[in-house]
Amino acid sequence: MLSSAQIKEIRSLHLNKNRESSGLFLVEGVKMVGELLKSAFKVRQIYGTEKWVKGLKLSKKADSPAIQSISPSELGRISSLKTPNEVLAVVKIPEVNLTESDFDGLTLMLDRIADPGNLGTIIRIADWFGIKTIVCSPDTVEIYNPKVVQATMGSLFRVKVFYDELSNVIRSFAQSIPKYGALLDGENIYARELPEKAVIIVGNESHGISEEVKSLVDQPVMIPAVVSGAESLNASVAAAVICSEFRRSFLSKL
C-alpha cells in the first residue's frame, strides 16, 4: 500500500518546478516502462499493478530497480494519465552535455517549440530517422513534461536532448556546418542537394524561427504547398518532411 508521503511525492512530479528541484520525472505505461528498462536511464522506483509485476521478466542484478505492487486505484491516484496503464516509474533526470561528436551527422535544433505533443513527436521523428541529438532553446517546452514523455513513445530514451541558447551552441559547435532553417521564404527543399552532415532548425508553431537564430541560418528551406489554403504546416509535420528529405537525399546516393 502506498503511504500518503509516497503519493504526495509522486504527484508533486506532475509539476515542472518539482521535477527540477528533485531531479526526478515520471514514466508511465507498459510500453514506455519497457523501453525505459532497456535504456541507460536510472530508475529510482517502479509502481506496478499485480498483473504487471507478475508478468515482469527482469534479471536479478545489483542495480535492478525497486518494484512495489500497488492496486489499480492507487495507480490512479498517482498517475498523470486520464486512463492509468498498469505501471509508473520514478526516474532520475540524466545529466546531458554536448560534444563535437554530436554534430557529426544530422542535428536538430528547436526554437521555442511550445506544444508538448509537438516536441514529443519530433523526438520520435528524430529517432526514426537516426538523428541522435536535439538541441532546444531554453523556452522550448520541458522534455520531462508528462505529455512530452508520452508522445515520444520511448524515443526519449534513445535521443539526446539538450537545452541552451541556440546561438551559443551554433557558435561553439556548428560554425562550419551548414545550417538549414525551415522558413516560409526559403528555397524549395525538393530542389536541393542535401548533405549528410547538417543542422536542421525548426521554429515555433506560430512565430517560426526567432530573428537572432534566423541570422545564423545560411540555408533557408521551405516545403512547397501544391494547392492549399493552409497557412503553414504543424511543426512536427514540417520536421518529419524535412528529415525525410535529408535521409532520402543521402540514401539515394548509396
CATH number of the domain enclosing 26: 3.30.1330.30
Residue 114, number of CB atoms within 10 A of its CB: 14
Domain that holds residue 51: 4-92
Kindly state whether residues 40 and 146 are assigned to the same domain.
Answer: no
Q: Output 58 or 27, whichever has higher pLDDT.
A: 27
Round to whole Å and give the CA distance between 240 and 229.
21
Q: Write down which residue in 70, 92, 114 finishes a domain.
A: 92
Q: What is the pLDDT of residues 8-38, one digit of tens each?
A: 999 999 999 999 999 999 999 999 999 999 9
3-class DSSP assignment, residue 141 = coil
- Best CA proximity match to 133, nearest among 110, 152, 114, 117: 110
Overall average pLDDT of the 43-59 stretch: 89
Round to whole Å and give the CA distance between 3 and 114.
35
Kindly state whether residues 10 and 117 are assigned to the same domain.
Answer: no
Does residue 228 surpass a pLDDT of 80? no
Round to whole Å and give the CA distance between 134 and 152.
13
- Best CA proximity match to 111, nearest among 135, 89, 132: 135
Q: Write down which residue in 67, 92, 117 finishes a domain.
A: 92
Kindly state whether residues 15 and 56 are assigned to the same domain.
Answer: yes
Q: How many domains would you assign to the chain?
A: 2
Instruction: Please report which confidence band the pLDDT of residue 58 belongs to, taking 50, 70 and 90 as the band edges.
Output: low
Kindly state whether residues 116 and 205 are assigned to the same domain.
Answer: yes
Overall average pLDDT of the 177-193 stretch: 95
Overall average pLDDT of the 56-76 stretch: 82
Kindly state whether residues 70 and 32 are assigned to the same domain.
Answer: yes
Kindly state whether residues 144 and 214 are assigned to the same domain.
Answer: yes
For the chain, the average pLDDT equals 94
Question: Residue 86's pLDDT is what?
Answer: 95
Kindly state whether residues 111 and 187 are assigned to the same domain.
Answer: yes
Angle at 56 between CA 87 and CA 25, to 5 degrees: 35
Kindly state whether residues 86 and 108 are assigned to the same domain.
Answer: no
Instruction: Please report which confidence band the pLDDT of residue 59 belongs to, taking 50, 70 and 90 as the band edges.
Output: low
Kindly state whether residues 135 and 166 are assigned to the same domain.
Answer: yes
Kindly state whether residues 144 and 180 are assigned to the same domain.
Answer: yes
What is the pTM assigned to this prediction?
0.94
What CATH number did the domain enclosing 152 receive?
A: 3.40.1280.10
Question: Residue 230's pLDDT is what?
Answer: 77
Kindly state whether residues 78 and 138 are assigned to the same domain.
Answer: no
Question: Residue 221's pLDDT is what?
Answer: 97
Q: Write down which residue in 92, 126, 152 finishes a domain.
A: 92
Overall average pLDDT of the 134-160 stretch: 98
Kindly state whether residues 78 and 160 are assigned to the same domain.
Answer: no
Question: Residue 254's pLDDT is what?
Answer: 60
